C-alpha cells in the first residue's frame, strides 16, 4: 500500500480539553506528530506572555496545532462525497493544518520585531529543508513537501484548500478562539462550532456557510471581537511584551558594544548577527529563553538585569492611556525628564499601540481584508456576511487602536523626593490618567 494511504492498525486518540478527542488514523499524520520539529512546539506557548495575565494560559502551539488538524479532519468528513470537493486533497489539508505553525519561535512577536525574522519563512524552511518533517512528507511524494508549504503560504492553486487553513472563518481561528478562551478561563470565545462545521460547504474557491448557520457565525465573529480586546490586547500582557522586547533590544545592543557577558549567550549569537540558520532557529525555544533571562537577571548591566528580573518575577510596568500623536508635548517632557533623573527613556518609557500587534479582526473593505465570509442562500446565490447580518455589519470596518504608555512606577517612586524631575514625572502621568 502507498505510504499516503497507509492507516494505523488502531486509531490513535489524543485527549483534548477543547475537542474532547483528536483522532488519528493516517500513518503520515502519526509520523509527523512524532518528528522532533513538531514536538518542539510543546516548548512554545500559544499565547506568549499572556500567562502573566491569565495564569492558565500555559498551553502550547503543540496543543493548538493538533486542534486545528482535528477541526479540518471533521470538516473533511462532512465534505466527503459533496460536489466541488476533490478527495485527493484530503491528506494535503490535514498536513497543512497540522504544520501551519511549525516555524513559530519563542515569544514570536517580540523576537520577529527585534531580530527581523518571519516565522512563515521558517515554517517553509522546516518543511522544505533537511528535517524529520521533510523526510516524512517526501515519503508521500517528492512534490508533496512543496505542496504543503504552498497551502500554508496561501499560494496553492486550489483556493478551497487554502481557505480551510486561512480565511476569516478557518480552522486555525476556530481552534485558537476556543482554546485560548478555555485556558485563560474567560467567558468569551465560545461559539457553536459543531453547528458551523455542519453547515460549511465546499465551493470552487472557498468554503461557504449555509444561510441557516448565520447566527452561529455571528457568535463566532463576536467571540473573536471580544477575545481580541479582552485577552489578546490585554494591557498587562502588553506590559510583559514590552519588557520582553526591551530585554532583547538591550542584550543585542550590549552584544554589539562588546559587553563581556558573565555567561556567553551562545544560543543568541546568530540572532544578534541577524544570520540565523535553521538549526540555530529550532534550537531556541521558550525553555532556553527563560533560562537566559534568569542568567541575565544576574548580569552587571543594570538595565539588562533589571528588565530580566522584572520578566522572570512579574514586576511589570504600569501604564496609562496615552496617545503620542495627540500628547506630543507631554511625551517630550517625559522623555527629557526621564533622562534627567537617570532612567533611560529608550528602555523605561514605552508607547505600545495595540493595532501594532499582528492580529486583525473582521474588517471587510480594508487592505488586510482576508477572504470575506460568504453565506450560501437558499436561492444558491452567495452573500457577503456583513450584508446579511446587522450584528456583523455593526462591528465591521471599525478599526480601534489603543495606545498605552508603559513605565516603571517602582523606580520612579524610588527617586529621592528632592530630585526636581520626580514630581514633574508623577504629575504628567497623573494628568494623563485622568
- Round to whole Å and give the CA distance between 8 and 116: 42
CB of 265 to Ca ion, least distance (A): 29
CB of 169 to Ca ion, least distance (A): 14
Cell matching residue 359? 492580529
Q: In what order do the strands lie in the sheet with 318-321?
A: 318-321, 403-407, 350-353
Of residues 62 and 293, the one with the C-beta less far from Ca ion: 62
Of residues 174 and 429, the one with the C-beta less far from Ca ion: 174
- Round to whole Å and give the CA distance between 322 and 334: 12
CB of 281 to Ca ion, least distance (A): 18
CB of 238 to Ca ion, least distance (A): 20
Q: Are strands 382-384 and 374-376 parallel, antiparallel or unpaired?
A: antiparallel
Of residues 101 and 306, the one with the C-beta less far from Ca ion: 101
Taking the CA of residue 8 as centre, how many other CA atoms within 13 Å lie in the half-sphere pointing to its CB? 13
Of residues 26 and 101, the one with the C-beta less far from Ca ion: 101
Cell matching residue 262? 558573565
Instruction: Decide if 405 contacts 295 (C-beta within 8 A).
Output: no
> How many Cβ atoms sit within 10 Å of the Cβ of residue 410?
11
Q: How far is CA 367 from the centre of its chain?
A: 20
Of residues 70 and 101, the one with the C-beta less far from Ca ion: 101
Of residues 37 and 101, the one with the C-beta less far from Ca ion: 101
- Round to whole Å and give the CA distance between 233 and 288: 26
CB of 96 to Ca ion, least distance (A): 11
Do you know the residue count of the chain?
434
Give the binding site for Ca ion (CB under 5 A).
101, 172
- Round to whole Å and give the CA distance between 291 and 389: 49
CB of 148 to Ca ion, least distance (A): 15
Of residues 134 and 173, the one with the C-beta less far from Ca ion: 173
- Round to whole Å and give the CA distance between 205 and 162: 9
Backbone angles phi, psi at 297, to 5 degrees: -65, -20
Query: Using CA atoms in the order 196, 201, 204, 206, what is the torsion angle rounded to 10 degrees?
Result: 0
- Round to whole Å and give the CA distance between 197 and 1: 31
Instruction: Decide if 393 contacts 362 (C-beta within 8 A).
Output: no
CB of 175 to Ca ion, least distance (A): 7
Of residues 37 and 299, the one with the C-beta less far from Ca ion: 37
CB of 108 to Ca ion, least distance (A): 11
Instruction: Decide if 127 contacts 95 (C-beta within 8 A).
Output: no
Q: DSSP assignment, residue 60?
A: B
Of residues 150 and 172, the one with the C-beta less far from Ca ion: 172
CB of 176 to Ca ion, least distance (A): 6
- 403, β-bridge pairs: 353
Amino acid at each position: 500500500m502507498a505510504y499516503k494511504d497507509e492507516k494505523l492498525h488502531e486509531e490513535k486518540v489524543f485527549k483534548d480539553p477543547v475537542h474532547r478527542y483528536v483522532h488519528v488514523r493516517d500513518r503520515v499524520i502519526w509520523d509527523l506528530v512524532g518528528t522532533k520539529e513538531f514536538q518542539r512546539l510543546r516548548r512554545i506557548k500559544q499565547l506568549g506572555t499572556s500567562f502573566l495575565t491569565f495564569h492558565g494560559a500555559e498551553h502550547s502551539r503543540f496543543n493548538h496545532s493538533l486542534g486545528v488538524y482535528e477541526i479540518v479532519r471533521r470538516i473533511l468528513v462532512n465534505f466527503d462525497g459533496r460536489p466541488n470537493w476533490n478527495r485527493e486533497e484530503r491528506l494535503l489539508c490535514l498536513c497543512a493544518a497540522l504544520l501551519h505553525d511549525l516555524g513559530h519561535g519563542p515569544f514570536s512577536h517580540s523576537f520577529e520585531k527585534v531580530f527581523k525574522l518571519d516565522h512563515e519563512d521558517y515554517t517553509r524552511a522546516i518543511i522544505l529543508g533537511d528535517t524529520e518533517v521533510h523526510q516524512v512528507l517526501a515519503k508521500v511524494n517528492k512534490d508533496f513537501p512543496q505542496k504543503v508549504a504552498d497551502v500554508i503560504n496561501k499560494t496553492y492553486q486550489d483556493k478551497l484548500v487554502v481557505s480551510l487553513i486561512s480565511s476569516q472563518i478557518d480552522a486555525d481561528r476556530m481552534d485558537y478562539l476556543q482554546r485560548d478562551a478555555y485556558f485563560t478561563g474567560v467567558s468569551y470565545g465560545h461559539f457553536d462550532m459543531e453547528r458551523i462545521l455542519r453547515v460549511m460547504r465546499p465551493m470552487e474557491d472557498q468554503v461557504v456557510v449555509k444561510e441557516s448557520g448565520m447566527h452561529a457565525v455571528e457568535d463566532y465573529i463576536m467571540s473573536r471581537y471580544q477575545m481580541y480586546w479582552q485577552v489578546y490586547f490585554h494591557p498587562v500582557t502588553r506590559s510583559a511584551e514590552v519588557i520582553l522586547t526591551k530585554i532583547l533590544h538591550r542584550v543585542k545592543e550590549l552584544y554589539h558594544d562588546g559587553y563581556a557577558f558573565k555567561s556567553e549567550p551562545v544560543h543568541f549569537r546568530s540572532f544578534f548577527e541577524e544570520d540565523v540558520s535553521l538549526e540555530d532557529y529550532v534550537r531556541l525555544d521558550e525553555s532556553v529563553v527563560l533560562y537566559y533571562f534568569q542568567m541575565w537577571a544576574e548580569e552587571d548591566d543594570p538595565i539588562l538585569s533589571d528588565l530580566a528580573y522584572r520578566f522572570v518575577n512579574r514586576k511589570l510596568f504600569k501604564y496609562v492611556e496615552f496617545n503620542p500623536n495627540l500628547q506630543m508635548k507631554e511625551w517630550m517632557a517625559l522623555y527629557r525628564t526621564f533622562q534627567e533623573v537617570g532612567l533611560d527613556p529608550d528602555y523605561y518609557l514605552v508607547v505600545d499601540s495595540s493595532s501594532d500587534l499582528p492580529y486583525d479582526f473582521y474588517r471587510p473593505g480594508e487592505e488586510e481584508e482576508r477572504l470575506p465570509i460568504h453565506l450560501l442562500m437558499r436561492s444558491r446565490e452567495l452573500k457577503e456576511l456583513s450584508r446579511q447580518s446587522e450584528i456583523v455589519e455593526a462591528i465591521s470596518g471599525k478599526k480601534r487602536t489603543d495606545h498605552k504608555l508603559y513605565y516603571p512606577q517602582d523606580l520612579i517612586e524610588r527617586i529621592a523626593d528632592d530630585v526636581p524631575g520626580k514630581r514633574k514625572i508623577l504629575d504628567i502621568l497623573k494628568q494623563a490618567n485622568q
